[in-house]
Amino acid sequence: MRRRLAWALTALWLVSGRAYGDESEEARLRARLKPEVATSVIEVVRSAAAQGLPTAPLVARALEGASRQAEDAAILDAVRRYSAGLAAARRALGPTARASELDAGAGALMAGVPEDSLASLRRARPSGSLVIPLVVLSDFVARGVPVASASNTVLAATRAGAADPALLRMRERIHERILRGEEPTGASREGLRELLMKTPGTPKERGNRDPHEKGRP
């Protein structure tokens, strides 16, 4: 009897907490957006929640649009597209992907990274978090590295077993090279080469091969 009561209370606490969270998000949206825009955005958010997608990134996107004084249609469009991006990221990364992975994956997909690349990343790191690899990939695309080169660079590094700190160091080195005026594709190639040369257990000759060549990595 006590156990049932405990389960009931726990369930009630979870439901109330979830409901409170949703109400809190909706209240924030209504406080910052025009009523009709807020209603439309809330519909998208509720639909995402029903699909089991994270809703915080959608709310954040709407609030960012409000702070940047974007047009109503642009805000609603951004929220809808990001919701679709989250759904696509879950398709690519699998049903067990964490909220932060879906968030990072949605951004990468919206920047033009194909779903196959995300799925390959998941296969390269089946149990570990993909947040840092996806953030590094997104950063490369944002800095002008072509999507194919950026995807291949991060995928090759992840397959080689590079840990997150090594990926972040590679990002910084490639960023510095681009700032010095190097062409982004060449900079990413050299950054990956340096990482592979320093990654334990990676054959040295592998670091001298071009990871961007066809059929690689």
Q: Which residues bind another protein (CB under 8 A)?
A: 28, 32, 56-57, 60-61, 63-68, 70, 74, 78, 82, 99-100, 103-104, 107-108, 110-111, 113, 129, 131-132, 135-136, 138-139, 141-143, 163-165, 168, 171
Tell me how crowded residue 161 is: count the other CB atoms within 10 A of its CB: 13
Nearer to another protein, 54 or 217 (CB): 54
Nearer to another protein, 52 or 112 (CB): 112
**Cβ neighbours, 10 Å, residue 119:** 14
Q: Which is nearer to another protein, 66 or 192 (CB)?
A: 66
> How many CB atoms sit inside 10 A of residue 45's CB?
22
Burial 95-109 (b: 16+ CB within 10 A, else e): eebeebbbbbbbbbb
- Complex with another protein: residue 93 or 135, whichever CB lies closer: 135
What's the DSSP call for residue 70? Answer: -
CB of 8 to another protein, least distance (A): 27
3-state helix, strand, coil in the chain (%, to 5): 75, 0, 25
Q: What is the DSSP letter of 200?
A: T
Q: Give least dist CB 50 to another protein, A.
A: 22
What minimum distance in Å lies between the beta carbon of 207 and another protein? 23
- What is the nearest approach in angstroms of another protein to the Cβ of residue 107? 5
DSSP summary character for residue 161 = T
